[in-house]
Amino acid sequence: MTAKTSKLALFSAALIAAATIVTNISVAKAEEWVPRKPVEFVIMAGPGGGADKMARLMQTVIQKHHISPKPFIPVNKPGGSGAEALIYMKSKTGEDHTVMVTLNSFYTTPLRQPALGIDPLTFTPIARMAEDTFVLWVNKDSGITNMEQYVAAAKKAGRNWSMAGTGRGQEDELLTAFLNTTYGLDMKYVPFKGGGDVAKQLAGNHVNSTVNNPSEAIGFYQSGDLVPIAAFTKTRLAQFPNVPTMTELGKPYSYFMQRSVVGPPEMDEAAYEFYRGVFKKVYDSKEWQDYMKKKSLLGEFITGNDLLDYWKVNYALHKKLLTEIGEIK
Amino acid sequence: MDIIPHLLDGFLVALQPMNLFLVIIGCAVGLFIGAMPGLGSVNGVAILLPVTFIVPPTSAIIFLAAIYYGAMYGGAISSIMLGIPGASTAVATTFDGRPMAVQGRADVALVAAATASFVGGTISVILFTAFAPPLAHVALAFGAEEEFALMMLAFSTFVGLGGDDIPKTIFSILIGLVLSAVGLDIISGAPRLIFGDLPGFYHGINFLVLAIGIYGIGEILWTIESSRGEVEVSQAVVSVHRIFAALKEMGGCIKTMIMGSLVGYFVGLLPAAGATPGSIMAYGFAKTMSRNPDSFGKGNIQGVAAPESANNAASTGSMLPMLTLGIPGSPTTAILLGGMVIWGLEPGPRLFVDQTEFVWGLIASLYVANLFALVLNVAFIPVFIWVLKLPFTILAPVIFVLCVVGGYAPTQDMHDVWLMLLFGVVGYLLRKLDYPMAPMVLAIVLGPLAESSLRQSLLLSRGSMTVFFERPISGPIMGIALLLFLLPVFKAFQRKRAAGKASEGGSHG
């Protein structure tokens, strides 16, 4: 009898063990989703811009530290201020081998072109890698060194004062609109192709000012050609300790550009976990941390619902800003 | 000046065994990438960028620069052999390179391309070595107004390009301009000419799609028509003797090559222009300056020498704003720039002062890369010629596949492949009706640059057109452009008068 019971006990123990192993395997499978083919890494901007450089840095870090078993292949889809990339990502709904590097046109392009039928809040929030900052710049030949002089000069020139920026209805134009309304200016906004081109226009004295990201103007700052006037941040940037923020100047205003990674809508949960892990590792890498320091990038790593909340706030903010400048009704 | 010791130090860096090895490998890889339609130097450099973190930054940029260089040489190969531009920078090389190959002078065309590339590369590196910092300021002085004036100059050289039929040339340019307007308006951001709402048109029409369609698919259709299905084997031959004879023939191209190098170099310096407009402009100038402009497009060796010297010179030129200003002069240098950031180097005005080993190592390696690219290219000519000996029944499907790959690769969108096939058929029909195709290709390349610079200038000047004539640099350029626009009109007028006199004389006699 005892022998029989013990046999039975043994058998059932074995059965349970087997079952656990089986479930363990399936759990492990769900946890350790890995890409089966190279991951398409869509860049919502053209080659050479800020987003492109960042994407290629991330790709290099992923490859160097063997963070992913399959490589990430960057693909530029700059068309239509990101419209092309957004449409493409939407078409990948529910698929797991495409992620995208995005910026603030993630909000502005769908808002300005409702016909695209894109709701950015449906995309999968993988990671916010950084927030890029904005600084007001002038050429050293203008002799302007502070905001007071800037406003005086711009007022005097009226409509002849020019601001160069990238794209229409995007970051740079929103900041120009802010300066115009806050200081009662009438400067005109001229769009150029990319941040580098904008910096060059100012260095060559073809325009009067820019609101470049520090990463785009840093070379000319180091050579002394461009002079920073004010930072659109909450606290002073470590790289420009003598440049006041707009808050210090009595006009509390800050504006940032997200540098985020998103997945298509309805991405598989396990794949989502995988990508979150990948980009957390990229964020923590020495390369990325150095890059953030050098380019005056701010911001913690956020993901999941925190990122979604961040999007909701910024989506509403951009809706308001675009309505104010008359880009949307 | 301390240029010579710096350069010698640079050679010490470039000639280190590992760097030398990377230059040779880079040139070979670049040659292949350039020769493959659709795989231009942009893709090549982008694909291989992550590989470079295993070597020091100086070696990494030497390797990538060698690829960039090699691709400029390689682009000519498929342009000449197959009539498909291997890279965007080699589009102008098909204009005369392909007719030369059809006439059995493929080896001469290849030698011409390699020699011209070498001359262009060398002249531009010498200019680079001697005048890098001052030239950076030339690039800065070029604003939107100057850029527009330069584009007008480019267009003016092409009005005469389609031969005597000026209305057909203008029609061809206009079609190209309309095609270049498809996509997103850069100033207002509104979509234009997207046929309702076809997403494929949002990124505009990549001009390689047009060029590959017209030249690649068009070529297949032409050959099918002319051979009427008979299997033809090209009479291509190659020998050391013929290569030397070809080199001798290049002696007559010295002026063209120097002109092409200078044009390419200065256009390359300008941010955002790059080697493609440079090579097309050099072709236009070569034709305008030629005593026998009608022979262009029919296999004139000068028509190969000009764009090939220009595209290599431009690739060196575009490195200058990258290194000194941190602004890419071409899409490829944009990626190199990203690379420098990854390696921890800060491009900009301080680079020449802070990173002498890197900068001069790169410059010296360009001399070395030029030499090896030339040697490799000439050494492989018999292999390329062998391709031509394949019967058309084998070659045609290969060309077709390469065309499809080349149309798909730049945007990775099937939409562009269908568009390319459509352009191939329409281009073939237009060619049958004697419409020149080169001006159309020119217009789709230069159109977007001309449009944005025109509109930016007018925004800045608040709508005043005189701004183009008032500024010290754009004024003279615009003046020359206007003269060149009117030149064919004068010529036609003169010819009519001459013809009138001749017929009068005839009736009297």
**pLDDT tens digits for A56-83?**
889 888 988 889 998 888 888 877 778 8
What superfamily would CATH give domain A39-92+100-132+257-324?
Bordetella uptake gene, domain 1 (3.40.190.150)
Signed CA dihedral, A243, A245, A250, A253: sign only: positive
CA B274-B276-B279 angle, 5° bins: 110
What is the per-residue pLDDT across A235-260, written as a single tens digit (0 to 9) for each? 999 999 999 999 999 999 999 999 99
**DSSP H or E stretch at residue B211:** helix B207-211
Q: Compute how many other C-beta atoms are within 10 angstroms of the C-beta atom of residue B67.
A: 31
Q: How far apart are alpha carbons A26 and A44 in whole angstroms? A: 36
| Torsional sign, CA B375, B377, B378, B380 | positive
A190: three-class secondary structure by DSSP:
strand
Note the pLDDT tens digit of each residue in B394-445: 888 888 988 898 888 777 788 999 999 999 999 999 988 988 888 888 888 8
- Test B325 with A290 for CB contact under 8 angstroms: no
Alpha carbon distance B98, B81 (integer Å): 7
What is residue A107's predicted lDDT score, i.e. its pLDDT?
94
Distance CA B310, CA B282 (A): 6
The owner of tokens 């997945």 is A263
- Give CA–CA dist B87/A119, Å, rounded: 38
Strand partners, A74: A41
Which residues does residue A245 pair with via DSSP β-bridges, in sequence order? Answer: A231
A207 touches chain B (CB under 8 A): yes
Q: How far away is chain B from the Cα of A178, in angstroms, using its nearest Cα?
A: 19
Q: How many CB atoms lie within 10 A of CB A12?
A: 10
Burial degree of A1 (CB within 10 A; 0-12, 13-18, 19+): exposed
The residue among B326, B272, B260, B343 whose CA lies nearest residue B54 is B343
Helix axes B91-102, B106-141, angle to 10 degrees: 170
Residues A115, B197: Cα–Cα separation, whole Å: 9
- A281 vs A267: CA distance, rounded Å: 20
pLDDT of residue B509: 37
> Across chain B, what does the average pLDDT equal?
84
Domain boundaries, chain A: 39-92+100-132+257-324, 135-231
Task: Give the model's pLDDT for residue A26.
Answer: 45
For chain B, what percent of residues have pLDDT higher than 90? 22
Q: Do domains A39-92+100-132+257-324 and A135-231 have the same CATH topology?
A: yes
- pLDDT per residue, tens digit, chain A (329 aa), is 445 555 555 555 555 555 554 444 444 444 589 999 889 999 887 766 678 888 888 988 898 888 999 888 888 887 777 888 898 899 899 999 999 999 999 999 899 888 888 999 999 999 999 999 999 999 999 999 999 999 999 999 999 999 999 877 788 999 999 999 999 999 999 988 777 788 889 999 999 999 999 988 888 888 889 999 999 999 999 999 999 999 999 999 999 999 999 999 999 999 999 999 999 999 999 989 998 998 889 999 999 999 999 999 999 999 999 998 888 87
**Rounded distance between C-alpha atoms, residue B76 and residue B74, angstroms:** 5
**Three-state secondary structure call for residue B345:** coil
The three-state secondary structure class of A137 is strand
Mean pLDDT of B498-508: 59
- Residues of chain A with C-beta less than 8 angstroms from the C-beta of B187: 168, 191
Residue among A47, A192, A219 whose CB faces B326 most closely: A219
Binning pLDDT at 50, 70 and 90, where does residue B234 land?
Answer: low
User: Cβ A78–B203 below 8 Å, yes or no?
Assistant: yes
A interface mutation test: which of B49, B182, B184 has the most A CBs within 10 A? B184
Task: Tell me A76's DSSP state.
Answer: E
Write down the domain spans for chain B: 3-389+399-508
What the block records as the tokens of B117 is 């590339």
In angstroms, rounded to a whole number, what is the distance separating the alpha carbons of residues B119 and B115? 6
**C-alpha distances out from residue B193 to A78, B196, B204, B320, Å:** 18, 8, 9, 36
By CA distance, what is B51's nearest residue in A? A60
What is the C-alpha separation between B154 and B439, in angstroms, rounded? 10
DSSP H or E stretch at residue B227: helix B218-227
Instruction: Decide: A213 and A219 in contact? Cβ < 8 Å.
Output: no
Minimum mean pLDDT among A109-113, B6-10, B301-305, B327-331: which range? B327-331
The band of B294, judged by pLDDT with boundaries at 50, 70 and 90, is confident
Q: How far apart are CA A169 and CA A101, in angstroms?
A: 20
Q: Confidence band (pLDDT; 50, 70, 90) for B118? A: very high
DSSP A38: P
DSSP 8-state assignment for residue B191: E
What is the token pair recorded at A296?
């005056």
How far does B428 lie from chain A, in Å, by closest CA?
Answer: 29
Predicted confidence at residue B296, as pLDDT, reads 85
Q: Is the pLDDT of residue B315 over 50?
A: yes
The verdict on a CB contact (< 8 Å) between B338 and A56 is yes
CB pairs under 8 A between A and B: 148
Which class does domain A135-231 fall in? alpha beta
**How close A116 comes to chain B (CA, Å)?**
9
What distance in Å separates residue B332's CA from the closest CA in chain A?
Answer: 8
Nearest to B126 by CA among B306, B283, B38, B258: B258
**Whole-angstrom Cα distance, residue B8 to residue B12?**
6
Question: Rounded CA gap, B30 and B198, in Å?
Answer: 35
Residue of A nearest to B346 (CA): A219
A158–B contact, CB cutoff 8 A: no
